[in-house]
Each structure stands twice: as structure tokens, then as C-alpha cells.
Structure 1
Amino acid sequence: MTYFDKFSLKGKTAIVTGGAGILGQNFCFGLAEAGARVAVVDINLQGAQQVADEIKGQLEGEAKAFHCDLTSEQSVENMVEKVIAEFGTIDILHNNAAGKSSDLNAFFEPFEEYSLDQWKEIMGTNLDSMFLVAKHVGKIMIKQGTGGSIIQTSSIYGVMGPDNRIYEGSFYLNRQINTPAVYSASKAGVVGLTRYLATYWAKDNIRVNTITPGGVESGQNEMFLKNYGNRVPLGRMAKAEEMVGALIYLASDASSYVTGQNIMIDGGLSAW
């Protein structure tokens, strides 16, 4: 086997939660290009189906869409059972999904006015869901006895506090934005969960790592792009496809001695 061969995912099955999202679509395509069978999991089944169809059409890869409400343990359990029934094994889990608030006004409220209900909603979608999926996929990986790789998506603001100056005059989807404390807390929890599981499941040869994206271009206005870029050594926001290489590395045997780590894909922002 060559060093390059170690990056191959041929014969492996990968679950990607949030597979219909901006980052999720790229992650699904990247894993499929590396040879994996991809379970595209999302609460938006139509969006997941579109991603799966594009993978099959453009790459002639194996992909199937699965609906799942990641805040429901029964829904997660059912999804995992369906993936096993379809593909036979689960070798890679990309615990990637993060939810949107049902009330953006409440989501962007100042910390002093933040409601407990909104806090619990975001914690449920961003962190509780990670616990549920890891729990049920981990059981399968242990039962299979062949190990596995779990990668969880955090955020730059799960590692460092936001610089609120970048939000001055900054809009996203025609709305003044900020980074709420609950988002930072939930994403910091992802890193903590990764480290715990990396040591807990090491005996089962299940590796658990985090990837932490910096800000990704996704429709922000020019002022935000400029403000954010001025804070980054590379001078710009990331493109969604720039997250994929780290995922393939962590999913593959190329990273066979890597666990409990957090790879920062942030253009150098955390190095200042």
C-alpha cells in the first residue's frame, strides 16, 4: 500500500449528518470521491435526496438519503438501523449537523435578555444531537469489532470568543447578526465531547476527532466579508470546499494514529 492509498475510503460506509447543508454537501461529495458509500442524513429529506442523486449522477458513487430528526433518540435509532440495512456497516461518522433557531429574533437577543427556552433549543440541536448520534453509531462500531472514525464539526467560536467589532454594519440574509453565547457554548461542548470519546473508545479502535471551521462564505454582505477578512492572517473567509481535505484525512487510514484532536481550518485566525 502506498501513502496515497491510505487516503482511500473504498469499501467503507460514511454517515454525514446535516448532509444537505452548505458544508454538508461538500463533505458528502468529498467522502464519495474518496470511495465511500455515503449516507446523506438530514431533516430536509428532499435536500438530502438531491445531494445523493448528484453523487450518483456525477461520480457514479453509492449514496442514499435518510431523513432524521437528530433531537429525537427514536429517529436517530431508526436512521442508524436503516443505514445498516442499506449498506451493511458503518465505518465513518461525520457528526456535522447544527440546527437553525425557530425564532431568529430570540436567537440574536443580547446575552442579558436571552431566554432559557432559546438556550435549550440551540443546545438540543447543536450538542444533544451529537451525543445521540455518537451513542448509537458507536454501539454499532463496537459490535462490528473493526474500529471506526468519528469526526465532529465544531466552530471557531467554540474555541475562541467572537470579535464583536466584525459585526458592525454586517448583515446576513438581510438581518443584523452576532454570535450568541449559546452558539459558542454548544460548539465548545462538541470539542469536549470529542476528547472524552477519543479516550473512552480508544480501546475499541474508534478514533474521534474534531474539525473546526473558521468563517465560511455563505451570503454575508461585503462589510462582513471585509471585517472578517481583516481579522484573518490569510485575509479572507473560507470557501466551503476548503473544509473537505481535513475530513478525508481524519476519516481515512492516513490518520490511523490521530485521535482526540481538533484541526483548526481557520485561515490562521486562532494563531494571532
Structure 2
Amino acid sequence: MLSGKTILVLGAKGLIGQAVVQHIAQKNGRVIAADITSDESTSAKVITHVCDITSETDIGQLLTQYPNIDGIVNCAYPRNSQYGTDALEVSTSSFNENVALQLGSCFSLLKLAARHFKSRQKPLSVVLLSSIYGIKAPDFSIYEGTSMTMPVEYAAVKSGLIHLAKYFSKYINDSDFRVNCVSPGGIENGQPETFLNAYKSKTLGHGMLSAKDICGSITFLLSDEANYINGTNLTIDDGFTL
């Protein structure tokens, strides 16, 4: 599906990022795997780089180094040490910092990607990672009996990503520059059993997803099979938002 394509994956060492890198390579794509740290390992299909998603300089250097990329996937998830605090205890400065780190860095990425496209005039597909909580209010009942919560910054950022995708798609106004979102449901990552059971009761039976469950949708949006799909949001949640 991605044979001959070069894809830049940001946040490549995260839970979702690792799965995306592996899946793209399996689909015969070439991956530029970038993260805030790197193991500096490379192969025929995967080249690693250090890149701070919050730095326009870092992003710009990658785009300059790889001018012929065909796609970008943003799996990066920068946040400060106060992230995840109960909503009524979050300071305004911390909220603003997290929104700047996450939504602001994605704005910078889209701005630089759009400039890159305009200068190269080569088709480019950008995929952003939003969330079910970018399209609906959190279901706080599933967190009862746990120390977990749904960070207020997360909901604000994820909803903003969906609109940024629409904005840049319309602003560039060219079928060859595509920006889309994928909104997964919860991703299993060692959560307590009480939470997993409560979450599963809200789905059609599968419950929490694994990171690899969303990779097919991402690679589809990167591929030529998704030509003319632009500014949209694909939801993969086993019916959680129904």
C-alpha cells in the first residue's frame, strides 16, 4: 500500500508511534522515525532522528533533509509535569503551557508542512492523532474507583486538532495537500482492571484497543487509496461514541 513512499513519523518512540513505524515498514514504506530521543538505529526501511516536536527549527531541518517525503504522521505528545491534574486544580499557566506544547506544536508542524508543499508541489498527506474525546465529552463514570481522570487539556487539544486539520486543508485548497485525523478510542496500556471493565461496557464488546488496531486507518490515509479524502476525522472506537 505504501510501496515507494517515504513517511515522517513524529513521536516514533511512543506507544502508538512504535506501532505506526512498524506497520508502515510492513506496508513497504520507508520511515523517518523522529522523537525527542533516539536509539540511533537505522535499517533499510527505518531511519531514526532526534527531533523536538515543539521546535520549528527541528521540524524544518527534517523537512529540508527529506524534501521528497510523501506523508507525515504526528504521534508526538509533549506535556509538562503537571499534566493530568484534576481539572479544578489545574493552574491557568499549566493549562496554557500544555495547550501550547501539544496544539501549538501541531500548528507549527502544519504551517511548515504547508510551506513545504507549496515550495515542492509534490503530493503530501498529513495524519494527526486526535481522540474520541476530541468529538464528545468525557464519560467520567468509567474512572470511578481509580486514580485516573481525563485531563482537561487533553480534551481541549484533541478537539482543536480536528479543526486545525480542516482549517489547513481548506486554507491550502489543493487536492494534493491532505490533512486528516484519526480518533482512536482508549488504548490499553496497563490500566486497572476496574477501568478496563467499565470502558468495555461502553463499547460493542471489544473494549480498549491496542496501538496496532489504529494503524490500518493511518496507513490508508497516507496511501493513494485515500486520494480526495481531506479534512476528515476517522473514528476507531468499537462503538464507544455511539
User: Structure 2 length as normaliser, TM-score?
Assistant: 0.94
- Alignment deviations for residues 93-135 of structure 1 (CA, whole Å, 9 cap, x no partner): 11221124323xxx33332321122112211222111111122
Report deviation, 1:186: 0.6
Quote the Cα distance in structure 2 between the aligned partners of 1:213 and 1:242. 9
Quote the Cα distance in structure 2 between the aligned partners of 1:124 and 1:64. 28
Report 1:77-156 matches (<5 A). 77-82=60-65, 84=66, 88-103=67-82, 107-156=83-132
Report deviation, 1:188: 0.5
Residue number in structure 1 paired with 2:56 = 73
Q: Does 1:238 align with 2:209?
A: yes
Quote the Cα distance in structure 2 between the aligned partners of 1:38 and 1:95. 13
Q: How many residues align?
A: 242
Distance change in 2, residues 1:208/1:77 (3 Å)? same
Report deviation, 1:81: 2.4
Quote the Cα distance in structure 1 between the aligned partners of 2:150 and 2:227. 35
Residue number in structure 1 paired with 2:3 = 10
Q: Point out where structure 1 has 5 or more consecutive residues left out of the alignment.
A: 1-7, 171-175
Report deviation, 1:204: 5.7
Residue number in structure 2 paired with 1:194 = 165
Q: Does 1:63 align with 2:46?
A: yes
Residue number in structure 2 paired with 1:38 = 31
Residue number in structure 2 paired with 1:169 = 145
Residue number in structure 2 paired with 1:27 = 20
Q: Is the 8 Å Cα contact of residues 175 and 228 (structure 2) preserved in structure 1?
A: no
Where 1:270 maps in the other structure, the secondary structure is coil
Letter in 1 for 2:14: G
Report which of the two has the higher share of helix: 1
Quote the Cα distance in structure 1 between the aligned partners of 2:176 and 2:30. 21
Distance change in 2, residues 1:35/1:144 (3 Å)? farther
- Alignment deviations for residues 82-103 of structure 1 (CA, whole Å, 9 cap, x no partner): 3x1xxx5111011221124323
C-alpha RMSD of matched pairs (Å):
1.6
Where 1:211 maps in the other structure, the secondary structure is strand
Q: Is the 8 Å Cα contact of residues 79 and 102 (structure 2) preserved in structure 1?
A: no
Letter in 2 for 1:229: K
Where 1:150 maps in the other structure, the secondary structure is strand
> Which of 224, 234, 240 is equivalent to 1:253?
224
Report deviation, 1:213: 0.7
Quote the Cα distance in structure 2 between the aligned partners of 1:226 and 1:101. 29
Report deviation, 1:75: 2.3
Report deviation, 1:10: 1.8
Quote the Cα distance in structure 1 between the aligned partners of 2:158 and 2:85. 18
